[in-house]
Structure 1
Amino acid sequence: MQFKDQLDFVRQHVKKNRMRIFTTILATTMGCAFLIVLASVAFGLQNSLKKEVLSDDTLTRIEVYNDGNKEIEPTEIKKMKNVNAVTMNTLIQTGNLEANIDAYKGSPEVILTDFKENEKANLKLSKGTYPEKADGVVVGYNVAQILLSKEDEKKLEKEKDASKINIGIQESMIGKKITLNWKNEETKKKVTRTFTIEGVGPKPKKEWEQDGTIRISKEHEEALVQDLKTLYGKKLKAEEMIYRTTAVYATDLEAVTAINKALQDEGYATYTVSQQLEEMNLLFLALKAGLIFVGTIAILIASIGIFNTMTMAVTERTREIGVMKAIGASPKLIQRLFVMESAYIGVIGTVIAVIISYIVSFAANYAIPKILYMATNEKEFLTTEIQFSAIPWQLVVIAAAISIGVAILSGWRPARKATKIDVIQALRQD
């Protein structure tokens, strides 16, 4: 019997028992669709978190911490292979600071940094350029909204939601003078520095983030720290006044792992986005495996229906099997025909399940944000980039292999039973 004839044979018997086959295929479809949709939640959340992590920082960045065991030596780190730049930022965390641009006042944070290293690290600005003069500074993207005039303060008293009104400096800040005043409220003394704005930092990637910093050249650090000591008391230690952060930038993504290992071997405490991604991927791998296991149980339950359907098929066709054996059909051919029938149920059920799963996935990503918005009245849910469900081709392949494999195994036992039917007894049946 040719393969085409075998397929025709299977189709004829499927048509004879449409309702029974339909319910069996339905059970297989539900089990396979349940597996795919359940596991798609893990794939969707992983994609969302991965996108969040990657948008939060650059993959070539390695943060280096001073954990008290080893002082950070930027000169030595720069000598390491494939290190592109080393940025050291010093946050001034002491003092009552007020910044002025014309009639606008506010209290931003001051960070001392090396502009040349920032340029090497390819940290782009939204406007202007990195300063070349000693009195040049780069202000954060949101500094213009932090500095307010008296009219702006009156507007805020009437309208608490700042997003609904125009406040702060509306025109370009490039070229404007900014004055920083540190004041001692007890002695009424103050330290004043005036700088020229030459650049504006990049726009924060998240709507809720704000960059209200003013970045000054590290050349001013020694003099500024000394002035603040004089202003607030000479007993104040430098480490109490400032907080340092260090970041190492690799030349490319492939070099990150090697540089990170070299830094750790030198005794530095480090953190990289790639490390976080590896830990996150490991966590989601375990979660996906668990969800696929739970979904497989649903398919195994559906396999009971396939087993019963094929057992009944063998029982009903006992005489037909006897005739086939009598005219010379081999046991292997008879077994193959029944296995093909169970595989047919698995394939049709899987195809329908995949189609239904994609529809459910699309509907979930579309509807869930709207449902959450209606439940909480939070507009953020309408603009969220969270992916609640994602179905990659790998998941489809895994689900299809499990579903079709279980279907074939479910039909294997009845198919073996069909090969052992006695010809004489089979032909005697009415």
Structure 2
Amino acid sequence: MNLQDMTIMGFSNLWHTRLRSTLTILGVVIGIGALTSMVSFGTGMQKNLTDAFTKNDLFTSMNVTPKDLNVDEMMSGDLSGIGKMLDEKPKPLTDSILEAIREMEGVQLAFPDESFAGKLQFNDNEVSKNMQPIPAAASAFYPYNDLLAGELYPHDSSQSVVIKWETLRDLGLIVEYPDLDYTLSRKDSLKGTRIVSPDSVIGRKITLITAELNIPSNPLGILMGDDFDPFEETSREYTICGITRPRDEFTFDRSRSALVIPPVTARKIPRLSFSSVWDILGEGKEEGTYSSIYVRVAEMEVLTPVREKIEAMGVGVFALADELDEIKRAFLIMDSLLGAIGTIALIIAALGIINTMLMSILERTREIGVMKAVGGSENEIKFIFFVEAACIGLVGAVFGLLLGWVVTRIANQVMNTMVLPDNQGPVDLFYFPLWLILGAIGFSVVVSLAAGLYPAIRAARIDPVRALRHD
């Protein structure tokens, strides 16, 4: 027999036992469906997180601090190490350091990463929020190059501001956008919340109220009962020039603030600010220094050289890219655990393949004897059974992938409808990369061949004389 004859015979034997073969293939379908759907959830989470980090420039950015903030040491619980780190005298982040960083090759953007507290008044509502100065040069980068409406202010001394979508919601306005799926509740109606278009917000004035310490000119007056307020509030109006897009579950909030304001304009606002952990830990910030500096580089490949140059200045640097290997390792562990659970179903399916093929041997004992009597070799007999096993694995893998895809589509729809917030657009929580598809097919075929190994060997060793006497 040639290769084509043996292959056709293998497929023909499965067709003659259609019901039993279908039930066996169904077991493989369920196993592959469970395996791929579970692993696709892990790969989907990894893809969403990695894409979000890349989109938000987290792999091409770093934060410069006065001290070397060793996250691993702080998380270890080693009090002596933490104490030693806090005792180190920080190097002030001055304008000269900031300018030196900006002049480094590969640096696209560098600015003080600070914020201050205040109150926002708009639409007859008031909320307490944090504000952050961001330079106009950030308009070339996410998220300020992809605003929901408007654009970032043109220069650093502008009297315009960019407000977050979530801040407007807190102020009683739900700003429309294409994927918005929000229904006003009774609570919203009582609060006066309205759904509005972005154009109705752009160009309107918003009031920013900040406070500073009020030092009395006559301290003795306080002891004599004079009215005294330790804080003095300042109110200023700014024009809304842009609205950020709503933040989803996989978007990193880089600014951490409700309002983005030009840095030169922000310096003129009297305020109290405790924007740094170093201020809270007791080492007050000197005039003309910064608590932290944000640095963005052109690409991930130049991050390490730039980091080394900055560290040589005697300051601390933290970059999320340093944790990339740990993130990948964590997802690998998660994918392995999910894959192991799905593999259990495939192993059970493999037992079904063994049972099906052993039954096939009993029914075809005389047929096997005839093939050996006319010159069929043991290897040819084995090959026929291997073809049957491989066919079961291949067909089961294809339909298993289809089942896994359908299940993940349904699960994804349920998650987007019932779990994720109303203001968030649809998120694809599952992902089928090419390696998963090809790997599932290959794994199914290999497991099926392994399951068919024992039946194939047993069939090849049948004595043709006894087989011909078998009824």
Query: Which of 447, 453, 459 does residue 418 from structure 1 map onto?
Result: 459
In the alignment, what sits opposite 1:326? Answer: 373
Query: In the alignment, which residue of structure 2 is the partner of 1:186?
Result: 228
Q: After TM superposition, list the pairs within 5 Å mapping 1:333-344 onto structure 2.
A: 333-344=380-391
- Which position in structure 2 is the counterpart of 1:10? 10
The structure with the largest alpha-carbon Rg is: 1
Shift of 1:121: 7.0
Structure 1 stretch 291-300 or stretch 334-343: which is displaced more? 291-300
What's the counterpart of residue 230 of structure 1? none
Task: Report the counterpart of residue 141 of structure 1 in structure 2.
Answer: 163
Q: Are the counterparts in 2 of residues 138 and 216 from structure 1 also a CA contact under 8 Å?
A: no
Matched residue type, 2:163: Y
Q: Pairwise CA RMSD of aligned residues?
A: 4.4
- 2:203 is matched with 172
**Which of the numbers 231, 247, 256 marks the counterpart of 2:294?**
247
Per-residue CA shift, 1:385-404, capped at 9, x if unaligned?
Answer: 34343322222222222211
Q: Given that residues 62 and 317 in structure 2 are in contact (C-alpha distance below 8 angstroms), is that contact kept between their aligned partners in structure 1? A: yes
Deviations 1:108-132 (A, max 9, x none): 656566x476578786584464336
Residue 86 of structure 1 corresponds to which residue in structure 2?
A: 110
Partner residue in 1 for 2:49: 49
Q: Within the alignment, does 1:300 sit opposite 2:331 as a pair? A: no
CA distance, structure 2, for counterparts of residue 354 and residue 5 of structure 1 = 30
Call closer, same or farther: CA 1:404–1:105 in 2, change over 3 Å.
Answer: closer
Q: Which residue of 2 aligns with 1:130?
A: 154
Residue of structure 1 in register with 2:416 after alignment = 369
C-alpha change, 1:261 and 1:312, in structure 2 (3 Å) is farther
Query: 1: CA distance between counterparts of 2:21 and 2:303?
Result: 56
Q: Any idea what SS the aligned residue of 1:380 has? A: coil
Alignment check: 8 A CA contact 1:343 1:407 kept: yes
1:297-352 per-position Cα deviation (integer Å, ceiling 9, x unaligned):
22111111111221222232222222212211122111111111111111111111
SS of equivalent residue, structure 1 residue 313: helix
Change in CA separation of 1:9 and 1:179 when aligned onto 2, cut-off 3 Å: closer
Distance in 1 separating the partners of 2:394 and 2:313:
57
Instruction: Find the aligned partners of 2:426 and 2:323 in 1 and give their Cα distance.
Output: 20
2:456 maps to 1:409: no
Cα distance in 2 for partners of 1:146, 1:303 equals 55
Checking the alignment, whether the CA contact within 8 Å between 2:132 and 2:259 is kept in structure 1 is no
In the alignment, which residue of structure 2 is the partner of 1:259?
306
Specify whether residues 142 and 404 from structure 1 end up closer, same or farther in structure 2 by C-alpha distance, changes over 3 A only. closer
Q: Deviations over 1:97-152 (max 9, x none)?
A: 67899x99886656566x4765787865844643365xx4442325996999xxxx
Cα deviation, 1:34-65, whole Å, max 9, x if unaligned, reads 11122222123223333444455554322222
Matched letter for residue 160 of structure 1: K
- The aligned amino acid for 1:38 is M
Q: Is the 8 A contact 1:141 1:203 kept in 2?
A: yes
Matches within 5 A, 1:162-241: 162-163=193-194, 170=201, 172=203, 182=212, 184=214, 186=228, 200=241, 203-206=244-247, 211-217=258-264, 220=267, 239=285
Give me the TM-score of the superposition, normalised by structure 2.
Answer: 0.69
Question: Residues 429 and 382 (structure 1 numbering): CA distance in 2 closer, same or farther, change over 3 Å?
Answer: farther
TM-superposition CA deviations, 1:43-90 (whole Å, max 9, x none): 232233334444555543222223365423324433433122321144
Instruction: Write the distance in 2 (CA, Å) between the matches of 1:383 and 1:157.
Output: 18
Identity %: 23
CA displacement at 1:381 relative to structure 2: 4.9
1:24 paired residue number: 24
Structure 1 residues 417, 237: CA separation in 2 closer, same or farther (over 3 Å shift)? closer
Aligned to 1:63: 63
Change (3 A) 1:421 1:87: same
How many residues are matched? Answer: 397
Look up the equivalent residue of 1:78 and give its one-letter code.
R
User: Partner letter of residue 27 of structure 1?
Assistant: G
* Cα distance in 1 for residues equivalent to 2:403 and 2:231: 73
Distance (whole Å) between structure 2 residues aligned to residue 237 and residue 187 of structure 1: 27
Change (3 A) 1:277 1:159: farther
Question: Partner letter of residue 155 of structure 2?
Answer: P
Q: CA deviation at 1:410?
A: 1.0
Deviation, structure 1 residue 276: 5.2
Mark the runs of 5 or more structure 1 residues left unpaired by the alignment: 149-155, 227-235, 374-378
Change (3 A) 1:90 1:274: closer
Farther-moved stretch of structure 1 (185-194 vs 299-308): 185-194
Per mean C-alpha deviation after superposition, the further-off stretch among 156-165 and 336-345 is: 156-165
* 41-50 or 285-294, which deviates more: 41-50
Of 330, 334, 338 in structure 2, the residue corresponding to residue 287 of structure 1 is: 334
Contact 2:53 2:59 in 1 (8 A): no
